A and B are shown apart, each in its own frame.
Chain A
């Protein structure tokens, strides 16, 4: 009932997850014993016969900052849909850590397990104030009954204020979020993601619509998050990817075309073909 922020609250995942890990001490969050946070194996998704993902294999290490690039329609957003439970794959498995089978969990369960997502098109709660947006995202007991009696504690308030400063929206705290500019909305969504304290952040084109200055600041922020969190960033902006400096995966027609650091990938003739061939 109280909003104790330091507690991890795993109740929301229900009994199944609790009983799955017989023999382990119920760890808070995700089981990272093999240093891998996300496994995608042979994932296929088709829409009316069109294969958006085709035998996709991908693993993300714990603490890694991974960039995903690929031409329009390569299946990047669809991949995130699969990870977050929005789209169910036709085939393949998708594990979060060692134990959590994402294909069997609902969206809220996945979010609660520690995966946060920023959408390609900024989606925030336009009728709520900026402050309330962050409050809603804040990591806490999110069950209906708890919300009924939740009361924002001073610590919670402080955390929101800190995040507001971090995303430079402290002067907009009490404005309806719908009134923000496009770039500010992007920042707000990043702020919400931070409030969620996820283990794994999925960021779909986070810097679209930002100035160069802001793009750079975002890059700094992401780099500072890496290590403690794992990040998957989808971007078309190559300069930004260069700044992030992580491993790069190229998607094409629903499967991995190449993987490696940016320079290697950019030199790969198949990648050049895909990008220039269009």
Chain B
């Protein structure tokens, strides 16, 4: 790294230089104004900076930028920009050749510096690019001084975009907090009461103090505004926690749904369940690789193709496991537990050898990146929203399969009375395989979702096994509805606890809650009553 650094830098410099001439065409600025930048008095300089700042000209921006970078120099009567190689007249943009022998730099003290920064930001407010304006307006949300007030007012008048307009209004109000006129301050405070940002709250707080704010009415209004903002912030935080709780619930549910079929309905303790998730995730990775290689134009839609691929891959592996191992262990849960743990080790090692021990990179498609901003400071990421939706889809799928198809009917019959089901002609062996394949396939679908938000690696499944079992056990074995409620409860409670106490303690507390809960209701939330329960 260290020896490639300088060469890299030089390369970049040359590139910049190549670009520079194109932007060298200057539209002349008022020379007197430029000259004033080099005035003796700071106040004069500031006046000039503000005027240039309000000029909405790109050249003014260039000059101010140079001033901020200490590249604005004075020689005799000329003010010029010297970037180390070339000197350019600040007012006209004409190249000065040769570079003057003696020159002075313009002293820029801290006060000037912040004026410069504001002026530069203000200039960006006139940029034709909406994104630049948005960024500038956002920037001003936290540090607009009273000096900015006229500039912001001017920008507000010109702005057409409603979103930016709102931001400007906020910034204008913030700037007006320093307005010597109490009425203007009051108006500003009242406007700011609609904000939901902690920064605004921070700016309003000093106004509560008599030492900073002489006017009682303004103090009163500020107190109300702070309360309003705090209430909004708290609400936003709760909303955020509920959302992340929902999001965690959906992930838990996706991880557990497959298990709700294999363990909950069929009674098979499948410790390799996490690895079926892992297979689903790798199938997603594989689909992505295929799309990158063969259909790069449709890369954004690889996730959709990954859904059936992951389902099939996991279902096939699941059916294979059922046929070869699990089938021989029906009715021996503890043995099944151990054998499937062994299978999980084998699958992990196989993944390691096939795809490497490192995590692989699965990218969100463009339509899943970013998020929607519900309110200031609360952005709901698209990938989470999509996953919640996807969970609902999978849930509906499972419900339909279990309630409305012959397979579901058979599976339920076998759960209730295996020998009897066999007698009335249910092909128990085949149904077992199919049902296990279904559960495994659902786990594969969970893997698709996980690949979008978590690391995809050989060990990824291990982290989910305990959680998934907790969901199924808590929900009550054999109860899909129970699993849904359990996942919801666990997810939301975990997130709220995390807000309080950090992730590790939250996890431990949740485990303790589950253990205590199972004390009270060993059969889970939705207990099956009846004679078959205790044996």
Contacts and interface: CB of A to CB of B under 8 A. Distances in A.
Touching chains A and B, CB distance < 8 Å:
yes
A16 interface: no
B529 interface: yes
Contacts of A213: none
A48 interface: yes
Interface in B51-104: none
Nearest to B534: A86
Interface in A45-79: 47-48
B445 to A, nearest CB: 34
Contacts of B529: 47-48
B530 interface: yes
A48 B529 CA distance: 7
A194 to B, nearest CB: 26
Contacts of A48: 529-530
Nearest to B531: A47
Nearest to B528: A48
Contacts of B530: 47-48
Interface residues of B, number: 2
A48 B528 CA distance: 10
Interface string B513-535: 00000000000000001100000
Contacts of A47: 529-530
A47 B531 CA distance: 10
Q: How large is the interface on A (under 10, 10 to 19, 20 to 34, 35 or more residues)?
A: under 10
A47 B527 CA distance: 12
Interface string B364-391: 0000000000000000000000000000
B507 to A, nearest CB: 35
Interface in A13-54: 47-48
A187 B530 CA distance: 29
Nearest to A86: B534
A275 B530 CA distance: 26
A234 B118 CA distance: 96
B265 to A, nearest CB: 20
A121 to B, nearest CB: 11
A207 B529 CA distance: 30
B191 to A, nearest CB: 62
Interface in B388-431: none
B532 to A, nearest CB: 12
Interface string B203-224: 0000000000000000000000
A204 to B, nearest CB: 14
B318 to A, nearest CB: 34
B479 to A, nearest CB: 15
B341 to A, nearest CB: 26
A47 B532 CA distance: 13
A47 B533 CA distance: 13
A265 to B, nearest CB: 29
B209 to A, nearest CB: 66
B89 to A, nearest CB: 94
A7 to B, nearest CB: 34
Nearest to B530: A47
A78 to B, nearest CB: 10
A266 to B, nearest CB: 31
A48 B526 CA distance: 13
B76 to A, nearest CB: 102
A228 B340 CA distance: 56
Interface in B480-535: 529-530
A48 to B, nearest CB: 5
A47 B530 CA distance: 7
A26 B530 CA distance: 40
A48 B530 CA distance: 9
A65 B462 CA distance: 61
Nearest to A77: B531
A89 to B, nearest CB: 16
A190 B336 CA distance: 36
A35 to B, nearest CB: 36
Nearest to A48: B529
B505 to A, nearest CB: 36
B314 to A, nearest CB: 37
B122 to A, nearest CB: 74
A48 B523 CA distance: 15
A47 B529 CA distance: 8
A240 B166 CA distance: 94
Interface string A87-120: 0000000000000000000000000000000000
A141 to B, nearest CB: 28
B35 to A, nearest CB: 94
A133 to B, nearest CB: 20
Interface string B302-327: 00000000000000000000000000
A47 B534 CA distance: 14
B258 to A, nearest CB: 29
B535 to A, nearest CB: 11
Nearest to A47: B529
B329 to A, nearest CB: 20
A13 B530 CA distance: 30
Interface in B443-478: none
A3 to B, nearest CB: 32
A84 B529 CA distance: 20
B207 to A, nearest CB: 64
A52 to B, nearest CB: 11
A178 to B, nearest CB: 17
A88 to B, nearest CB: 13
A106 to B, nearest CB: 15
A268 B530 CA distance: 34
A107 B52 CA distance: 93
Interface string A159-171: 0000000000000
B394 to A, nearest CB: 31
Nearest to B529: A48
A48 B527 CA distance: 11
B520 to A, nearest CB: 15
B2 to A, nearest CB: 71
A213 B529 CA distance: 40
A211 B443 CA distance: 55
A76 to B, nearest CB: 15
A104 to B, nearest CB: 20
4 contacts: A47-B529, A47-B530, A48-B529, A48-B530
User: What 4 A-B pairs are tightest by C-beta distance, nearest first?
Assistant: A48-B529, A47-B529, A47-B530, A48-B530
